[in-house]
């Protein structure tokens, strides 16, 4: 029995270690290749640092400071707007009673099923007719609401007893006062969860940028990385340097706030 | 602790809360969704002149071999991705649910790829899959195996895309399954072990049935997400002109993108995307219908 257990244990650890390697190798390669020249990138085993390593790949990304700035700008505004629209919508869906409420929410949930490509042509026409084509505002408005965020906050609001609002209502407080003074301060954790999910979403967002941005000086970081795909001569070093820049902020965010990430996903799985 | 039911709120109040989010939904999702249905019956190509052409687009699609292939590629991708996401997600959730030391470390590590930029990750895997000098082939060489063609052959390109997708997503499903496993009442396992049930029995008689609501949720998400795969295909198989060798990674959403933003066949692309949506809708409905047969909500 003990022998069988040891065998089982070793097998489990072997699986875990091999999978860790599978997960880590691409990340390790991005980190190390960013500092290597084109020849040494392909050397196996991949060295952490060689005598020829340096910052030269980053220096070749001359347009990327602008891309990074664009990404920061769009991500910031989108995330703030997400928080606002998701929390007010969630309040309307849980703590206010009105006709058609549940039907509309089901419609919201069903829209998660639609791939963006299905609606992109008319959406593109709407954006164009609003005069927003080739602007950051297009990305910000197209992404101004979030079903997932609304759902998460709604799940939390449902746990708040109605009596909490009821006494304030009897005292004649306006719903907005109740929302801002009583409900929102209780929702800090779920708001933080929505914040990091939205940050990750917009920092990585690619398709809308691809469709709505035409000028090179407007490109966000993920769209900027397509510069490489179009190039005839492929240099891998600068590509990896760009990939590194794109993954570092979310990695820092993830490892410092992973509790929120994991809670957010786990609670989206619990039926509500 | 439910008190009396809420009073109806006044419409101005409701709208003041609802409109900030709903306006975006209406303008950029709902109206476009309805319009797609309209555009699908026209020959609209961006110019001022267009007309209704009835079911012509649908007819062309059903005759198009490119669409057939695209559909086949998508179904292959969805089938293998969903299957492997479920198997790997459940396997690693069970491995990490035993409560040994280091569990949280592995949990974080396996989930981490999920937060990274698909575009950045695709660049990295393009390098790993480099046909002559990539790490993947060098590793195969060290293990004494012949090199693989990865993204350069129509036989292996889709598999390469599936590998990248799994790399990014298996941790997500693992977290969902972990949540499900942890909500199973431990008394059930105790009772089973008193009755002398072996691991095989406990898995099929307790774990799987108790996990079925989670499995249902995970599978629904996995199917829907798999139909949406785009970034990897774009980045790893040639950008705007991509779709893999001989169209082997040309999933329907990518084909829709090419037909609309490269070929400007807006009407045709709308019809194509409607058919795709119809397929997703049908599969999801079948899933919801069938859940009665295998999903246990009681106990």
What burial class does residue A55 get, using C-beta atoms within 10 Å of its C-beta: 0-12 exposed, 13-18 middle, 19+ buried? Answer: exposed
Which pLDDT tens digit goes with each residue over B166-215? 999 999 999 999 999 988 888 988 888 888 888 888 899 889 999 999 99
| Token representation of residue B141 | 């060489």
The DSSP code for B42 is B
**B26 is a domain residue:** no
Contact yes or no for A89 and B22 at CB 8 A: yes
| Token representation of residue B262 | 């490269």
3-state secondary structure of B8: strand
**B28 is a domain residue:** no
Number of H helices, E strands in chain A: 15, 0
In angstroms, what separates the C-alpha of A23 from chain B's closest C-alpha? 7
Helix axes B157-182, A236-269, angle to 10 degrees: 30
Do residues A25 and B125 touch, judged by C-beta distance below 8 A?
Answer: no
Domain CATH code at residue B242? 1.10.3720.10
Contact residues on chain B for A27, CB-CB shorter than 8 A: 112-113, 124
Contact yes or no for A247 and B133 at CB 8 A: no
3-state secondary structure of B52: strand
**B56 is a domain residue:** no
pLDDT at A267: 73
Name every residue whose Cβ is closer than 8 Å to that of residue A197 and which is 6 or more positions away in sequence.
A148, A149, A152, A261, A264
User: Where would I find the H helices in A95-235?
Assistant: 101-111, 116-129, 136-142, 147-157, 163-170, 175-177, 184-186, 188-204, 207-212, 221-224, 227-230
Which residues are B229's β-sheet partners? none
Which residues are B52's β-sheet partners? B42
Contact yes or no for B135 and A46 at CB 8 A: yes
pLDDT at B6: 60
Rounded CA-CA distance B258/A209 in Å is 16
pLDDT at B155: 93
Name every residue whose Cβ is closer than 8 Å to that of residue A79 and which is 6 or more positions away in sequence.
A195, A198, A199, A202
3-state secondary structure of B198: coil
Which pLDDT tens digit goes with each residue over B39-64? 999 999 988 889 999 999 999 999 99
Residue ranges in chain A whose pLDDT is less than 70: 1, 230-233, 269-272
pLDDT at A270: 53
**B274 is a domain residue:** yes
| Token representation of residue B170 | 């298996």
pLDDT at B297: 74
Do residues B188 and B210 touch, judged by C-beta distance below 8 A?
Answer: yes
Q: What are phi and psi of B233, to 5 degrees?
A: -65, -45
| Token representation of residue A114 | 């639609």
Do residues B178 and A266 touch, judged by C-beta distance below 8 A?
Answer: yes
Do residues A93 and A106 touch, judged by C-beta distance below 8 A?
Answer: no
Residue to substitute from B35, B118, B124, interface A, most A β-carbons within 10 A: B124
Rounded CA-CA distance B110/B96 in Å is 11
Helix axes B65-96, B157-182, angle to 10 degrees: 40
In this structure, the number of other CB atoms found within 10 A of the CB of residue A63 comes to 13
3-state secondary structure of B174: helix
pLDDT at A272: 36
Contact yes or no for B117 and A203 at CB 8 A: yes
**B43 is a domain residue:** no
pLDDT at B59: 96
3-state secondary structure of A225: coil
Residue of chain B nearest A8, judged by CA positions: B95
pLDDT at B167: 98
Of A115, A126, A127, nearest to B253 by CB-CB distance is A115
pLDDT at B33: 96
Contact yes or no for A175 and B33 at CB 8 A: no
Rounded CA-CA distance B216/B291 in Å is 7
ipTM: 0.92
Which pLDDT tens digit goes with each residue over B133-180? 899 999 999 999 999 999 999 999 999 999 999 999 999 999 999 999
Domains and CATH numbers, chain A: 61-234 (1.10.3720.10)
Of A22, A122, A242, nearest to B31 by CB-CB distance is A122
| Domain span at B102 | 63-294
Mean pLDDT of chain B: 92
Contact residues on chain B for A166, CB-CB shorter than 8 A: 3-4
Average pLDDT over residues B122-136: 93
Which pLDDT tens digit goes with each residue over B243-298? 899 999 999 999 999 999 999 999 999 999 999 999 999 999 999 998 888 888 76
In this structure, the number of other CB atoms found within 10 A of the CB of residue B264 comes to 14
Contact residues on chain B for A44, CB-CB shorter than 8 A: 135, 138-139, 142
3-state secondary structure of A97: strand
**B171 is a domain residue:** yes
Rounded CA-CA distance A119/A131 in Å is 19
Q: Number of structural domains, chain B?
A: 1
**B1 is a domain residue:** no
pLDDT at A269: 62
Contact yes or no for A46 and B256 at CB 8 A: no
Give, rounded to a whole angstrom, the gap between the first and last alpha carbons of chain A: 43
3-state secondary structure of B190: helix
pLDDT at B1: 40
Contact yes or no for A122 and B35 at CB 8 A: yes
Which residues are B8's β-sheet partners? A97
Which pLDDT tens digit goes with each residue over A242-267? 999 999 999 999 999 888 888 888 77
Contact yes or no for A98 and B284 at CB 8 A: no
| Token representation of residue A217 | 């000086």
| Token representation of residue B125 | 């895997």
Contact yes or no for B106 and A96 at CB 8 A: no
Helix axes B11-25, A64-94, angle to 10 degrees: 140
Do residues A226 and B235 touch, judged by C-beta distance below 8 A?
Answer: yes
Task: Write B59-66 long-range contacts (CB < 8 A, 24+).
Answer: B60/B268, B61/B268, B61/B271, B61/B272, B61/B275, B66/B247, B66/B250, B66/B255
In angstroms, what separates the C-alpha of B75 from chain A's closest C-alpha? 15
**Largest alpha-carbon pair distance within chain B?**
77
């Amino acid at each position: 029995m003990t022998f069988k257990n040891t065998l089982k244990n070793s097998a489990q650890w072997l699986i875990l270690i091999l999978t860790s390697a599978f997960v880590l190798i691409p990340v390790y390669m991005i980190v190390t290749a960013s500092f290597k020249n084109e020849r040494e990138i392909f050397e196996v085993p991949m060295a952490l640092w060689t005598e020829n390593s340096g910052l030269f790949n980053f220096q070749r990304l001359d347009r990327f400071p602008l891309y990074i700035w664009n990404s920061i700008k769009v991500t910031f505004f989108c995330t703030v707007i997400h928080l606002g629209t998701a929390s007010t919508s969630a309040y309307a869906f849980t703590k206010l009673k009105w006709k058609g409420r549940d039907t509309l929410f089901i419609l919201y949930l069903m829209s998660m099923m639609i791939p963006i490509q299905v609606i992109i042509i008319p959406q593109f026409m709407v954006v164009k007719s609003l005069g927003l084509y080739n602007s950051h505002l297009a990305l910000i408005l197209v992404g101004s609401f979030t079903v997932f965020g609304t759902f998460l906050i709604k799940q939390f609001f449902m746990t708040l007893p109605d009596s909490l609002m009821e006494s304030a209502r009897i005292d004649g407080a306006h719903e907005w006062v109740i929302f801002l003074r009583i409900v929102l301060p209780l929702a800090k954790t779920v708001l933080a969860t929505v914040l990091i999910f939205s940050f990750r979403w917009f920092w990585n967002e690619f398709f809308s940028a691809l469709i709505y941005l035409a000028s090179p000086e407007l490109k966000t970081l993920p769209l900027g990385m397509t510069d490489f795909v179009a190039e005839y001569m492929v240099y891998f070093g600068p590509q990896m340097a760009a990939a590194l820049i794109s993954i570092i902020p979310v990695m820092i965010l993830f490892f410092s706030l992973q509790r929120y990430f994991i809670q957010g996903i786990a609670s989206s799985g619990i039926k509500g | 602790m439910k008190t009396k039911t809420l009073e109806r709120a006044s419409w101005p109040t409701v709208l003041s809360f609802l409109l900030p989010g709903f306006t975006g939904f209406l303008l950029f999702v709902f109206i476009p969704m309805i319009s797609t249905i309209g555009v699908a019956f026209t020959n609209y190509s961006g110019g001022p002149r267009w007309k209704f052409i009835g079911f012509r687009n649908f007819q062309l699609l059903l005759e198009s071999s490119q669409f057939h292939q695209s559909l086949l590629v998508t179904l292959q991708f969805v089938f293998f991705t969903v299957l492997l996401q479920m198997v790997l997600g459940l396997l690693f959730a069970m491995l990490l649910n035993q409560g040994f030391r280091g569990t949280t470390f592995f949990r974080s590590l396996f989930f981490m790829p999920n937060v990274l930029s698909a575009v950045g990750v695709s660049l990295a895997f393009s390098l790993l899959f480099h046909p002559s000098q990539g790490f993947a082939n060098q590793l195969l060489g060290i293990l004494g195996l012949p090199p693989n063609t990865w993204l350069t052959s129509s036989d292996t390109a889709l598999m390469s895309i599936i590998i990248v997708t799994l790399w990014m997503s298996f941790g997500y499903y693992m977290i969902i399954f972990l949540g499900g496993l942890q909500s199973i009442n431990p008394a059930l396992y105790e009772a089973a072990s008193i009755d002398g049930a072996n691991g095989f029995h406990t898995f099929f008689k307790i774990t799987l049935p108790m996990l079925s609501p989670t499995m249902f949720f995970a599978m629904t998400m996995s199917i829907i997400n798999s139909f949406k795969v785009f970034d990897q295909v774009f980045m790893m198989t040639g950008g705007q002109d991509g779709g893999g060798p001989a169209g082997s990674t040309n999933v329907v959403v990518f084909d829709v993108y090419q037909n609309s933003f490269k070929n400007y066949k807006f009407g045709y692309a709308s019809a194509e995307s409607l058919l795709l949506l119809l397929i997703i809708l049908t599969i999801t409905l079948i899933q919801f219908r069938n859940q009665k047969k295998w999903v246990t909500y009681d106990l």
